[in-house]
């Protein structure tokens, strides 16, 4: 089932997704922080694989910790193909949680994307790895310079949103949104319908129709839309 829904979601903008979630009373679904490292126009959909950092402490966040059992390296090996790694870096802008090597390994493992409220490092190398990245910035220092990695697949916060492992993430040029698992079907189906409606509105606007009465539609506009809607193959 989720494959079909994911295919649908790949054609629904994150803007539309937030509007669908608002219908269910959810306003906290867009992450404030993660932006595309390179705006490509692409939209990525996948299940969240969460990573969690806390602030640095000099006795535990060391270069040596990279080799410990609880390390970002170990976490990457647990990521399922197609998942989206979502990292809670507590918004720290001064440490790049991942660089070219870790991103390359993720790409190799068919991870779909990296989303974080923190920074990545080695911008050129990360771009070269071809892993799609949404982050809040770029910083030279390693994660241990400002952060301590503490685990994966736990509930996290990212950009003001709560993310639970398995939630669905959609990311495009507007940023990244989270869809609670229970609402994925609703959002995909209503969202696709809404996109259709907006494409009709857009063409009406191109024809010079004014927005009041059109968007949202009054009775007349609704009727005209229904005709157009039915006329489509």
Residues in 158-177 at the binding interface with a copy of itself, rule: CB under 8 A: 160-163, 173-175, 177
For residue 156, count other CB atoms closer than 10 A to its CB.
23
Out of 155, 220, 226, 229, name the contact with a copy of itself by CB under 8 A: 155
CB of 209 to a copy of itself, least distance (A): 9
For the chain, the maximum distance between any two Cα atoms, rounded to a whole number of angstroms, is 68
Residue nearer to a copy of itself on the CB measure, 201 or 233: 201
Out of 9, 37, 100, 132, name the contact with a copy of itself by CB under 8 A: 100
23 binding a copy of itself? (CB under 8 A)? yes
Q: CA of 229: how far to CAs of 61, 198, 209, 216, in Å?
A: 58, 11, 18, 16
**CA-CA distance, 229 to 233, in Å (whole number)?**
9
123 binding a copy of itself? (CB under 8 A)? yes
61 binding a copy of itself? (CB under 8 A)? yes
Out of 1, 3, 81, 206, name the contact with a copy of itself by CB under 8 A: 206
Out of 8, 86, 111, 142, name the contact with a copy of itself by CB under 8 A: 142
For residue 138, count other CB atoms closer than 10 A to its CB.
16
- CB 185 within 8 Å of CB 81: no
11 binding a copy of itself? (CB under 8 A)? no
141 binding a copy of itself? (CB under 8 A)? yes
CB of 3 to a copy of itself, least distance (A): 24
CB of 219 to a copy of itself, least distance (A): 12
219 binding a copy of itself? (CB under 8 A)? no
**CA-CA distance, 153 to 173, in Å (whole number)?**
26
192 binding a copy of itself? (CB under 8 A)? no
Q: Which two tokens stand for residue 114?
A: 């990296």
Out of 2, 60, 185, 196, name the contact with a copy of itself by CB under 8 A: 60
Considering only the stretches 2-10, 48-56, 79-87, 224-232, report the one whose residues sit in contact with a copy of itself under the rule CB under 8 A. 48-56
CB of 84 to a copy of itself, least distance (A): 16
Out of 7, 80, 130, 150, name the contact with a copy of itself by CB under 8 A: 150
């Amino acid at each position: 089932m989720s494959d079909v829904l994911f295919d649908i979601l790949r054609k629904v903008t994150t803007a539309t997704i937030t509007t669908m979630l608002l219908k269910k009373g959810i306003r906290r679904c867009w992450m404030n922080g993660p932006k595309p490292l390179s705006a490509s126009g692409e939209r990525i959909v996948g299940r969240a694989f969460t990573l969690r950092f806390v602030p640095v402490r000099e006795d535990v966040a060391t270069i040596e910790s990279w080799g410990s059992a609880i390390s970002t390296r170990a976490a990457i090996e647990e990521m399922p193909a197609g998942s989206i790694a979502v990292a809670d870096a507590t918004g720290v802008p001064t440490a790049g949680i991942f660089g070219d090597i870790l991103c390359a390994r993720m790409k190799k493992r068919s991870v779909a994307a990296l989303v974080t409220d923190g920074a990545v490092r080695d911008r050129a190398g990360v771009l070269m790895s071809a892993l799609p990245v949404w982050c809040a910035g770029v910083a030279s220092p390693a994660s241990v310079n400002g952060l301590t990695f503490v685990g994966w697949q736990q509930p996290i916060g990212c950009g003001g949103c709560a993310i639970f492992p398995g939630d669905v993430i959609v990311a495009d040029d507007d940023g990244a949104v989270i869809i609670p698992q229970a609402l994925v079907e609703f959002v995909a189906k209503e969202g696709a319908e809404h996109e259709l409606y907006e494409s009709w509105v857009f063409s009406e606007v191109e024809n010079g129709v004014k927005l009041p009465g059109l968007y949202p539609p009054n009775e007349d506009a609704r009727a005209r839309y229904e005709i157009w809607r039915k006329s489509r193959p």
